[in-house]
Amino acid sequence: MGKGEETRQTILDSAVALASQVGISGLSVGSLAEKTGMSKSGLFAHFGSKEEMQLAVVRATQELFLETVMRPALREKRGLPRLRAIVANWLVWARRSRLPGGCPLAAAAHEFDGQPGPVRDEVSHALGLWRRALADAIGKCVEAGDLRPDTPVEQVAFEINGLVLACLQDSQLFQDPESEQRAMTAFDRLMSHHAPNPAKE
Amino acid sequence: MGKGEETRQTILDSAVALASQVGISGLSVGSLAEKTGMSKSGLFAHFGSKEEMQLAVVRATQELFLETVMRPALREKRGLPRLRAIVANWLVWARRSRLPGGCPLAAAAHEFDGQPGPVRDEVSHALGLWRRALADAIGKCVEAGDLRPDTPVEQVAFEINGLVLACLQDSQLFQDPESEQRAMTAFDRLMSHHAPNPAKE
DNA sequence: GAATTTATAGAACGTTCGTTCTTTTTTGTC
DNA sequence: GACAAAAAAGAACGAACGTTCTATAAATTC
B23/B191 Cα distance (integer angstroms): 34
Q: How far is the CA of A41 from the C1' of C19 (A)?
A: 9
B108/B120 Cα distance (integer angstroms): 8
DSSP A117-177: SHHHHHHHHHHHHHHHHHHHHHHHHHHTTSS-TT--HHHHHHHHHHHHHHHHHHHHHS--T
A16/A58 Cα distance (integer angstroms): 8
Whether the Cβ atoms of residue B94 and residue B20 lie closer than 8 Å to each other: yes
The pLDDT tens digits of the residues spanning B78-124 come to 999 999 999 999 999 999 999 999 999 999 999 999 999 999 999 99
Going by pLDDT thresholds of 50, 70 and 90, the confidence category of residue B181 is very high
Within window 21-80 on B, which residues have Cβ closer than 7 Å to strand D?
27-31, 40-41, 44-45, 48-51
pLDDT at B4 over 90: no
B190/B146 Cα distance (integer angstroms): 12
Average pLDDT of every residue of chain A: 95
Whether the Cβ atoms of residue B182 and residue B167 lie closer than 8 Å to each other: yes
The pLDDT tens digits of the residues spanning A53-108 come to 999 999 999 999 999 999 999 999 999 999 999 999 999 999 999 999 999 999 99
The pLDDT tens digits of the residues spanning B51-83 come to 999 999 999 999 999 999 999 999 999 999 999
Q: Where are the alpha helices (DSSP H) in chain B?
A: 4-22, 29-36, 40-44, 50-65, 71-73, 80-96, 104-112, 118-143, 153-173, 179-193
Could B173 and A25 be called an inter-chain contact, meaning their C-beta atoms sit closer than 8 Å? Answer: no
A37/B93 Cα distance (integer angstroms): 45
User: B66: left (phi > 0), else alpha (psi -120 to 50), else beta?
Assistant: alpha
Going by pLDDT thresholds of 50, 70 and 90, the confidence category of residue A197 is confident
Contacts of A13 (CB under 8 A, 6+ apart): A60
pLDDT score at A96: 94
The pLDDT tens digits of the residues spanning B133-170 come to 999 999 999 999 999 999 999 999 999 999 999 999 99
Average pLDDT of every residue of chain B: 95
A104/A126 Cα distance (integer angstroms): 12
pLDDT at B129 over 80: yes
pLDDT score at A172: 94
CA distance A130 to chain B (A): 13
Q: What is the rounded average pLDDT of the residues B9-28?
A: 97
Going by pLDDT thresholds of 50, 70 and 90, the confidence category of residue A4 is confident
pLDDT at A177 over 80: yes
A180/B157 Cα distance (integer angstroms): 15
Q: What is the rounded average pLDDT of the residues B42-46?
A: 97
Domains, chain B, ordered by start: 50-193 (1.10.357.10)
Residue type, B40: K
CA-atom Rg of chain A in angstroms: 19
What's the angle, vertex CA A111, arms to CA A164 and CA A36, rounded to 5? 95
A18/A11 Cα distance (integer angstroms): 10
B183/B88 Cα distance (integer angstroms): 9
The pLDDT tens digits of the residues spanning A146-156 come to 999 999 999 99
Q: What is the rounded average pLDDT of the residues B174-180?
A: 95
Between residues 147 and 176 of chain B, which touch chain A (CB distance below 8 Å)? Answer: 154-155, 158-159, 161-167, 169-170, 172-174
Q: What is the rounded average pLDDT of the residues B180-195?
A: 97
Could A165 and B162 be called an inter-chain contact, meaning their C-beta atoms sit closer than 8 Å? Answer: yes
Taking contacts as CB-CB distances below 8 angstroms, the residues of chain B near A186 are 155, 158-159, 162
pLDDT at A3 over 90: no
The pLDDT tens digits of the residues spanning B12-21 come to 999 999 999 9
> Nearest residue to nucleotide C25 when comparing alpha carbons to its C1'?
A42
pLDDT score at B200: 45
